[in-house]
Amino acid sequence: MTSQNSLSAENTASSIELLDRDVSILAFNVRVLDWAKRPEVPLLERLRYLCIVSSNLDEFFEVRADLHMAAFRNGDTKGTYSIKTFENVFETARNLVSEQYGLYNDVLLPSLEKVGIRILSHGDRNAVQKKWVQDYFRREVKPLLVPVGLDPAHPFPQVANKSLNFIVQLSGKDAFGRSNDIAIVKIPRVLPRVIPLPSKVAGKEKAFVLLSSVMRAHLNELFPGREVGQFSQFRVTRNSDLSVDEEEVENLRTALRKGLQHRQYGQALRLEVSDSCSHHLSDFLLNQFNLPPVALFRAAGPVNLVRLSQLIDLVDDASLLFPSYQSSFPKQLNHGSSIFARIQQGDVLIHQPFESFDGVLAFLKEAVEDPNVLAIKQTIYRTGSDPAMMNLLREAVRRGKEVTAVVELKARFDEETNINWAEQLESVGAQVVYGVVGLKTHAKMLLVTRREGRVLKRYGHLSTGNYNPRTAKLYTDLSYLTCDARMTADMDTLFVHLASPSRLGRMNKLLAAPFLLQKKLVEKIEAVGAAAAKGLPARVVAKMNALTDPVLIHALISAGQQGAQIDLIVRGACMLPAGLPGQTDNIRVRSIIGRFLEHSRVFFFEAGDVQDIYLSSADWMTRNMTRRVELAWPVLDLPLRQRLIDECLLPYLHDTRNAWTLDADGKYRRFEKHGRKIQSAQALLMQKYSPSHSKAR
């Protein structure tokens, strides 16, 4: 292919219409919901997947719906966000919610009853159970409730994001002779949503009642002298994106803490009510929240399926859960042996959760306890509430080491946790910084400086995932330990840049966003396309969580049109329309949804006789390339490169159990096996690292 033809391919690539990002996000949740449908999946795990979908939908509306709603209100008919996209997204979400409740009512509840687990409605409860519930309501619930009757002196109350509430229509007059006929009852979040009945009341079964059912049965006790007519539980989802102008605020931490106080009361975007809610009451609520009718969702059950996850812990029946999986200690490390000494022999790769995060904690612990270690630098994005890593950093300060923590305060929904960690680290004397103004620090790196004789030697840890011991058991991620002088020098250069106003120095091996990462990835893809045009081996295999960056998408399309073979393993949103005849024939997109959340990012490029493999903290999204500090790093060690191919790429390309393929029409379909042996990438890896776990799914 001539350069003119290559240019033509680029022009054709840029003219292809990309898929809708938000519809693709919702399609991902369809794939998650599929796990709740599978009869071979343990029953409580099916319920867990149902709850995960609801949690994902909550976040979708909190983060993504505002732009569509704004376009609807503005009457926009063109552009990325318009009246059409608003209606399309809300209707797609509504269909998904309808499918959820159908599955909950018609499949999961009957299946739970078959194994002796019942969620009792008021009509299902016998006299003894009704008496117990009434006593529970009067003792535990009623004292916390303050019903608000609406009148000029009592306007519609502030309703917090995702909180449970009841709207009640009353007849008659109150004690002051007023005919206020609408009341609102806000349900405190401290109350459990799933309540177990004691065995003496439940009988042989494990019986539970939902708080919403308890409320429904005893609303009349809240309004003595009035008659309760129509009523409904309701829940509103609000825009929860914090907006802080970093250029204008003097103290980002203080500004974010103040912003958190208002997050619960952002712009309303979705209203959920009971499916039996009268149009009179639903219209009243829509008017109060200034929402159009299309934003109303009717729930054929509890309006917050997320909170049903409490049932899983309350039942606590191992036979209804996945067989327990115990991660193995990283095979390249040895208990009791020096990790520093091991890294000196060569780079170390840890494949989580098949290998445990304990290897990373052991590395930091050794650094803290080693008197020759002088300094520790670490980025903190989502560490969660587990104190293990923070305790180690505090202990390092106590032992006199220089500790620098780059804390990303703007990690969505983890802002408060990160603020608290930052304050605790500062209180013991650690140097805490918040990165670069206007950018989120999403890179995951830990750098240790150690005195060895007359020299200072650096040891680094890089990761595709967060420093979070809890999610490290649930997400697939890759940790990389190295003492490569150029790589660790690059890490130190980036730490200096994050902590000071200096420009980013020259990088030797690491690719950093928002500086060169996107540009270098495009160059790699273009090199593959050029090799294909010459008839040389040319292939891209990339595993990531999301693919939504138009620049990278068009580069992939162009390379594919030049003959390169491209396989993309994209867990979530993907805007690249694969398999379009004559346009993207050489590009295949598959999504793997399994027991663990796929989170690792692995990029393989083959251009002629040159093969490169990179690991990264970054998905191929515009925000990661232009508005975040991200890292990608090459893997040069040949055995580790082969291990990445054998564990992170090939099994996922050949997964026939949990794979979905993206078709030319933009829809995902379960992979058709056509007589092929059924295999699961995650199950193979679980068996590899824990041979005794023969029942892995």
Catalytic residues: 442
Shortest CA distance to 25 belongs to which of 383, 547, 503? 547
Rounded Cα distance, 561 and 330, in Å:
41
For residue 277, the tally of other CB atoms under 10 A from its CB is: 23
Quick check: bond before 147 cis, omega within 30? no
**8 Å CB contact between 603 and 486:** no
Quick check: bond before 353 cis, omega within 30? yes
For residue 371, the tally of other CB atoms under 10 A from its CB is: 10
Rounded Cα distance, 564 and 628, in Å:
30
DSSP SS3 for 291: coil
**Amino acid making up residue 391:** N
557: its two tokens: 């399309």
Helix (H) or strand (E) holding 519: helix 517-533
3-state SS of the chain: helix, strand, coil percent to 5? 40, 20, 35
Q: How many CA atoms lie within 13 A of 59 on its CB side?
A: 11
692: its two tokens: 């005794």
Q: What is the DSSP letter of 419?
A: H
Helix (H) or strand (E) holding 100: helix 83-103
**8 Å CB contact between 339 and 367:** no
Q: Which residues lie across from 606 on neighbouring strands?
A: 539, 611
Shortest CA distance to 236 belongs to which of 168, 295, 149, 194? 295
Between CA 320 and CA 326, with CA 323 as vertex, the angle to 5 degrees is: 145
Q: Which residues contact 313 (CB under 8 A, 6 or more apart)?
A: none
Rounded Cα distance, 557 and 222, in Å:
63
Give me the phi and psi of 173, to 5 degrees please: -125, 155
The burial of 531, by beta-carbon neighbours within 10 Å (0-12 exposed, 13-18 middle, 19 or more buried), is given as buried
Task: Please give the radius of gyration of the chain, using alpha carbons only, rounded to the nearest integer.
Answer: 28
**8 Å CB contact between 433 and 404:** yes
